[in-house]
Every structure is written in structure tokens, then in C-alpha cells.
Structure 1
Amino acid sequence: MKLKEEKFNYISETERLIIRPLKIDDYENWLNEFKNRHPSQNRYDKGKINMTECTLEWFHSLVDKHQELALTDTAHVFGVFRKEIGTHLGMVDFSTLARDGFQWGRIGYAIHNQYWKKGYGKEAVKEALNIAFKHLKFHRVEAHINIDNTPSIHLAESVGMEFECMRKGFIYENSEWTDHLVYYKNSK
């Protein structure tokens, strides 16, 4: 497998954050922050998650899978860490939707709810978009947001993403096709 020969190790820093792929050494920190999550704060927040299946062996597989996805340009998954003490705050990811004449990707983001309302989401997503345009070479990045996910809408708008449209029956989730708002940003 190619992963042993080559690794995706891109690292970016902001004033307070480090954004990089997960490493095996992150396991305890990563697991601890999932265990410290508050109960669900809204419909789109999973809150406390049962982590019993997330063993160190399972985490090794997760890190390898992220590497494989990055090396095949299928997806690029980044952990978000607080620079000062290394705390795992959440994740930002990009899925490649099309290359060639498009250079088009989708962004996803999640900050552990115990760290909400501190500006970490905005700081992480803003820097992740810089990574997408400068390092991953996307021209266009979209966020596909449930129509009633107000916190995600506000986050997308706060980093300069623009509302484009509502796509009807766009994503299959919870056993039904759901409408989503499309927010986008193009490289300069």
C-alpha cells in the first residue's frame, strides 16, 4: 500500500490553532475530547457519543484511511488543535467533487460543542479555505447545509461564503432526501 511510502502531512497554523491530519499520537487527546462533549445542543449536534468501539487499533485504521483518502485526492481530513496546549477541538474536511476543468470541492466542519462560542470554528474554517485554495488547488468550495442549521449558516457567512441556492432533495439522510442550502467560495 502506498501509505507506507508516502504520507499526507500538510500543517497550517493560525494565531490560536494548528490544522493538520491526525497522527497516531493524537489518540488519547482525540478520544478525551469526544468523551468531554456536552449533551446535544441542537438537532445537528451529536453531543455525547458512545466511543467504546474507538480503540487504539480502530484509530490506527482511521488515520490510515484518512491518509489513503488524501493520497487519492478523494478527501482531505484535518484535525483542529489548539496551538497553546494541543487540545483536539474538532475537524475540517474537504471532499473532491470534480477536478479537470472544475477544481471543485465540498467542505465539512465540526467543533466539539464544549468549545463553541469561542471563535474556533470561524478561525478553523477560514484557514481551511486558505488550505483548499492554496495547497489543495480547489477553485470552488461549497458547503451543503441543512436549511434549518442556523449555526452552520452563520459560520459559512462569517468566513465569506456566499449563498447560491437551495438544492431540493439533495442529500439522503435520516431515511429521506433532504433539501440543502449551498454556500460557496471561489479562489481569487
Structure 2
Amino acid sequence: MKALVTGGAGFIGSHLVDHLVAEGLDVVVVDNLSMGDLHNVKHRDEVTIYVEDVRNEKFMQQLLQEEQPDYIYFLAAVASVADSIERPAETHSVNQTAVFNMLEYIRKTNLPIKQFLFTSSAAVYGNLPELPKKEDSRVDPLSPYAIDKYATERFVLAYGELYDLPTVCVRFFNVYGPGQNPSSPYSGVLSIL
């Protein structure tokens, strides 16, 4: 079995890569290292790593055809609300268009995958007061980042239904743990504490 992890050199992605390697999967990582670091991947010598941007559509299509991953974990993102406000077009191209392009290529070529997982964010809930948040809680995305994450969730799930693709979405909340850089502008309050 083979897994493709976009954003696999980031904090969350590198932990996923290490877990997948430990489970015996062949792992392929695509990361442009804008927020990730190859040193985050403990099993670097056991995975195939491409330092490339997920927006490079030609590269991503060629990679999918050559590697034929069974599982695709789409973690690549510009994960900063502030960046999305300052540079909405650029962050949109990563956080939504790159995902859409990959889904469309999978659909058009009937690429035989077992699962496509998209990682979203609790930012989709905005400042709504209801607690605890649940998957069916109301959403109120307040930034281009949150809007892209929510809209992309809808694309991923709709593609699953309309084109019989095995898709799933997850929303991360306050992720923290070993190896996280608390001084990073992308780290949440829990990692700083």
C-alpha cells in the first residue's frame, strides 16, 4: 500500500508520515517547505520526498500517475488566517484550487484510490458561541482561510457523492504536541502554554 501526504514535512504531516511508515506503508511526501522542514520527518530515508508546490498541476498529475497512491492525505495549506487576509488569491490557490485540481484529475482519469482525506480547520465555525463544536454545528467562516477550508470540504464531499470517490474530511482543533515550534506564528495558544 502506498500513501501520498501533501504537506508531509509540516508539524502534523510529519507525524502522519512517521505513523504511516511505522504501519508499513510506502510513503510519498510533497512539500514546498514554505512551512515545513525535512528534519521533521524522522523516517526521511524510508520515504520518497518531493520538494514541490501542490499548485504545480503538471507535476502533481505526473506524480499521481507514476506513484499510483492508494491513500491521499491532503494536508498542504497556507495555515495562516493573517496570510489569507493579506494574500487571499495566493492562499486560495493552495487551500482550494490545488485540492480541486487533484480531485478533478482523479475523477477524469479514474485513478483507483482507496481514500482521499482533506484536512480542514475549526476556523470554519468562526466566533459562534455554541459549545462543544460538532460536525453538524453551524458554520460562520470569517476569513478567506476559513472560507476556503469550508468550501473545499464541500467540494471534497460532493465529489465523493457525485463521482463515487472515497473522500472524507476532518477538522483540526488546537493541534499541539512534540516537535511543534511554539515560536512559530502558526502555532496555537496551547503549544505556547
TM-score between both structures, scaled by the size of structure 1: 0.32
Q: Which has the higher strand share?
A: 1
Q: Which has the higher helix share?
A: 2
TM-score between both structures, scaled by the size of structure 2: 0.31
